[in-house]
Structure 1
Amino acid sequence: MHLPRALAAFNRRVTNPIQRRWAGRIPGHAIIEHTGRRSRRIYRTPVLCVRRPRGFAFVVGYGLESDWVRNLLAADGGTVVHRGRRYRVADVRLVPAPAGRALLPNPLRLILRLAHEGDVLTVTIVD
């Protein structure tokens, strides 16, 4: 069960512009810079993020219809701003729940299991 698309639209217009001010600098959050599939425009989307040994894992809370998910998958990469650093990323993979939850820390795993969420998008940092 993903969060409602109406909430995603609200976040895109209201919450995301506010979160973009700090999401790329604090733990547990990141900004994904991705290119639109048709517009070729660069978008900056704040997301929940977990640092992995060679990359990142992102919670997919609004489902596969999310533009940032579709754009990263189509381009097989983008840029991640995490804790003030920029990383080029590639090798984008969708890991569906419950296997996706296994990639996350226990507290977040529990919250997502209770919310019937758990799809995770993983990326690898490009050297």
Structure 2
Amino acid sequence: MSRLTDVRFRAATAFQRYVANPLTRRLPGHTLIETTGRVSGLPRRTPVGGRRVGDAFWLVSEFGGRSQYIRNIEADPRVRVRLHGRWYTGTAHLLPDDDPVARTRSLPRFNSAAVRALGTDLLTVRVDLDRL
């Protein structure tokens, strides 16, 4: 990994961890993914941008396997997703063979632009939502 990539990763994750995520987690309409901490076993809520299509929720992680919530999904794919203030349970699938840049074109524009601009290792995630 290049030094520039590492600096971008550290700057973006520090900003997200200490500024953006604490604020957006409190907004009732913001989309969250809740994973189970792979070490602590505690619920971990991360703001994400994505879109529900049928019984699936799609998102693109900007840092792939370096993202803590992706590492939590690798350990336990059972997740919850908060969409428009309502929680849904589901199973997350990491899709390394999917084209994440193409996928961002079908997701919310603002978030997708940020993911493409800041991301260093894009990874598509599909959450198959349980039927109600």
Deviation at 1:69, TM superposition (A): 0.9
Task: Say how many residue pairs are matched.
Answer: 122
What aligned pairs does 1:94-113 form with structure 2 within 5 A after superposition? Answer: 94-96=95-97, 99-104=99-104, 105=106, 108=109, 111=113
The superposition leaves residues 52-103 of structure 1 with CA deviations (integer Å, 9 ceiling, x where unpaired) of 2221111211231111111122211210001111100114222456x23334
Match of 1:119 in 2: 123
TM-score (norm 1): 0.77
C-alpha distance in 2 between matches for 1:45 and 1:56:
15
Q: Which has the higher helix share?
A: 2
* Pairing partner for 1:4 from 6, 9, 29: 9
Structure 2, unaligned runs of 5 or more: none
TM-score (norm 2): 0.75
Deviation at 1:5, TM superposition (A): 2.7
- Give yes or no for contact 1:77–1:92 (8 Å, CA) kept in 2: no
Cα RMSD after superposing both structures: 2.9
Identity of aligned residues (%): 31
Structure 1, unaligned runs of 5 or more: none
Change (3 A) 1:113 1:125: closer
C-alpha distance in 2 between matches for 1:80 and 1:113:
19
Q: Does 1:14 align with 2:19?
A: yes
